[in-house]
Structure 1
Amino acid sequence: MIDEILQKQLSAALSEQLKVKIHINEAKSVHGGDINETFRIATNEGYFFLKMNDAKKYPDMFAREFAGLETLRGAQALHVPQPLAHGIVSGKSYLITELVIKGSAVHDFWEDFATGLARQHRKTQPHFGFPAANYLGSIRQFNTPYSSWSVFYAFNRLMPLARMAYDQHIIDKDMVQQVERLCRLLPQIFPQEAPALLHGDLWSGNFMVGAQGRACVFDPAVYYGNREMDLAMTRLFGGFDTKFYYAYQAAWPLLPGWQQRIGVCQLYPLLVHLVLFGGNYYNNVKEILQSY
């Protein structure tokens, strides 16, 4: 909820950051995930989208998300909500972005989405990583730069999650050793390819059909990584339309053997979900590890 005091503080903070007098007239709660409070706010300058959470638990989450959104927008490949402001008021972290209006999908929606993602993936840099750590869900995501994808994936993704799961008594020592064994095999599994600009959390809940009938992506966990990570993520939790995958392959074919690497790429988000939610994700992780 946004009480009158918080509403005034947010109005003042927004006015300062946006360099225009902002008055919040109404804040309507909307669906927005597991850890954030989300609102559509009506102001004298129009409607915006507001996310808030506990500043003590996640002091830099929205600053990192703001940077990720700006990076994706800079790629000029897919529609991304414009980030407008972030900060802390009354113990609450907040992020204000453009409010995306839902529309009806155009006839080539999936093809356009796929080719846009391929354009985004062609944005590159010398190293895998990102300027700062950020988050996948509520899990801190390390982005220490490495020139090798296999090293990056092992030390910034798989091993930190395996250690976290072990420390929380979710997996045993044998499974940690299985993860370590897989990490040693990564240089033989992944062919070399330049770092690609990734959304980082590209599943069906993190895009919508925008007002123009095209895909709008949000809630990113941005970094430069192997582009197969985004594609593998799209296949989890319901998957995308098959037209999407055919169109991506036509725009920029994945390197040979990509089908056999889907499970390895999905291992990271599955480990995140195992730490956060437990349940059947244990069996998903175990099945992938046993194939190596």
Structure 2
Amino acid sequence: MASPDAQPADPLASWLGDRLGVDLVERRPVGGGCIHRAWCLQLADGTRLFAKTNQAAALPLLEAEAEGLLALAAATGEGGAPLLPVPMVHGRMGPEAVLVLSWIDLDRGRSAAQPSPWHRLGAALARLHRRSLSQACIAADRPGAAFGWPTDNFIGSGVQANGWEEDWGRFFVERRLAPQLERLAATAGRMEGADALLALTPGWLNGHGAQPCLVHGDLWSGNAALTVSGDGTVFDPAVYRGDREVDLAMARLFGGFPDAFFAGYEQEWPLPGDHPRRCALYNLYHLLNHANLFGGTYRGQCQEAIRALLDHSPG
């Protein structure tokens, strides 16, 4: 008979034992995103793992995250590419969904005052983008020179439409801007100028030689960090094959990336000189997604962005 003071067994312990053959000693909550619960898992051999848990219905989000991390890891190559928390196992644990990753010691106290690691991370992202175009990296996930991804995935907790399209401008309209605008229209009415913007966008985006690079897809400062060893890392992706400029544009949207990051990228693979003119258009997608997920002032920001884009063509 069990002691009345005995603590119930952690169901994650038996789950990890069956899946990975490891012994869980302790799990404690750690800071994470706003969607899942995050945990540090202390193992009997002294090592640690990182886990995310959520209700079973959230398993598709964790599966998409695992797929994206594996794709990025496959494209990083060698020579200073960012370390990635490569997925180890994911699935259902009774009423919960679980994703277990390698543990990485992050040092969020490092800032622009320490530019060298950020410079290396920017260069590593450029190498990832360029290497992802090699035949060795594309065979499994895309046909020919198409933009997109084999399946829909997620941007935050919102569905990100994918599929394949050979025309980059049309892909960005039909799989990025239009679904977000339609979702927003269903709850708050059609945005002024939305139809005109959608009509003009393909022409704006098809003249600078965009290539179907593997992109992180959600590269704001909360999804990148330095480690205690001074390396850089990225996580929580929303991957697809698109213009590499989308990652650099979002890295500027909410701030947090120092100049050294962009300098490192430019040194490794310079961007077209007119790249800044497309940033607002690419970032409109993320503003629309925030408006759909969080409401508030984001709708007004979207309307202002659409008006500015129509008044000042990004070319």
2:312 maps to 1:273 = no
Distance, in Å, in 1 between the alignment partners of 2:280 and 2:106 is: 33
Q: Please, what is the CA RMSD of the aligned residues?
A: 1.8
Unpaired runs of at least 5, structure 1: none
Q: What's 2:305 paired with?
A: 288
Bigger CA radius of gyration: 2
Q: What's 2:54 paired with?
A: 53
Q: What's 1:202 paired with?
A: 219
Cα 1:285–1:96 shift into 2, 3 Å: same
Deviation at 1:51, TM superposition (A): 0.4
Residues 64-103 of structure 1 mapped to structure 2, 5 A cutoff: 64-76=64-76, 77-103=81-107
**Contact 1:38/1:50, CA 8 A, preserved across alignment:** yes
Distance, in Å, in 1 between the alignment partners of 2:13 and 2:36 is: 19
Instruction: Spell out structure 1 runs of 4+ moving beyond 6 A.
Output: none
Distance, in Å, in 1 between the alignment partners of 2:67 and 2:152 is: 11
Amino acid of the structure 2 residue aligned with 1:157? R
The TM-score normalised by the length of structure 1 is 0.90
Compare 96-105 and 225-234 and name the one that shifted more: 96-105
Amino acid of the structure 2 residue aligned with 1:210? T
**Contact 2:116/2:260, CA 8 A, preserved across alignment:** no
Count of residue correspondences: 281
Distance, in Å, in 2 between the alignment partners of 1:250 and 1:269 is: 27
2:161 maps to 1:142 = yes
Amino acid of the structure 2 residue aligned with 1:112? R
Cα 1:99–1:4 shift into 2, 3 Å: farther
**Contact 1:158/1:179, CA 8 A, preserved across alignment:** no
Identity of aligned residues (%): 33
Deviation at 1:15, TM superposition (A): 2.9
Amino acid of the structure 2 residue aligned with 1:13? W
Distance, in Å, in 2 between the alignment partners of 1:251 and 1:37 is: 37
**Contact 2:115/2:258, CA 8 A, preserved across alignment:** no
Unpaired runs of at least 5, structure 2: 1-6, 139-144, 311-315
Cα 1:115–1:186 shift into 2, 3 Å: same
Cα 1:174–1:101 shift into 2, 3 Å: closer
Deviation at 1:237, TM superposition (A): 1.7
Amino acid of the structure 1 residue aligned with 2:19? Q
Amino acid of the structure 1 residue aligned with 2:101? T
Q: What's 1:35 paired with?
A: 35
**Contact 1:51/1:95, CA 8 A, preserved across alignment:** yes
2:278 maps to 1:261 = yes
Cα 1:179–1:211 shift into 2, 3 Å: same
Deviation at 1:183, TM superposition (A): 2.0
Q: What's 2:142 paired with?
A: none
Distance, in Å, in 2 between the alignment partners of 1:285 and 1:107 is: 32
Give the match's secondary structure for 1:41: strand
**Contact 2:169/2:202, CA 8 A, preserved across alignment:** yes
Give the match's secondary structure for 2:33: coil
Q: What's 2:124 paired with?
A: 116
Structure 1 counterpart of 2:197, from 162, 182, 206:
182
Q: What's 1:13 paired with?
A: 15
Q: What's 1:220 paired with?
A: 237
Give the match's secondary structure for 1:95: strand
Distance, in Å, in 2 between the alignment partners of 1:201 and 1:95 is: 19
**Contact 1:68/1:222, CA 8 A, preserved across alignment:** yes
Distance, in Å, in 1 between the alignment partners of 2:164 and 2:8 is: 44
**Contact 2:191/2:303, CA 8 A, preserved across alignment:** no
Deviation at 1:12, TM superposition (A): 3.1
Deviation at 1:32, TM superposition (A): 0.8
Deviation at 1:174, TM superposition (A): 4.1
Cα 1:174–1:165 shift into 2, 3 Å: closer
Distance, in Å, in 2 between the alignment partners of 1:99 and 1:184 is: 45
Deviation at 1:107, TM superposition (A): 5.3
Deviation at 1:215, TM superposition (A): 0.7
Amino acid of the structure 1 residue aligned with 2:61? M
Distance, in Å, in 2 between the alignment partners of 1:209 and 1:52 is: 24
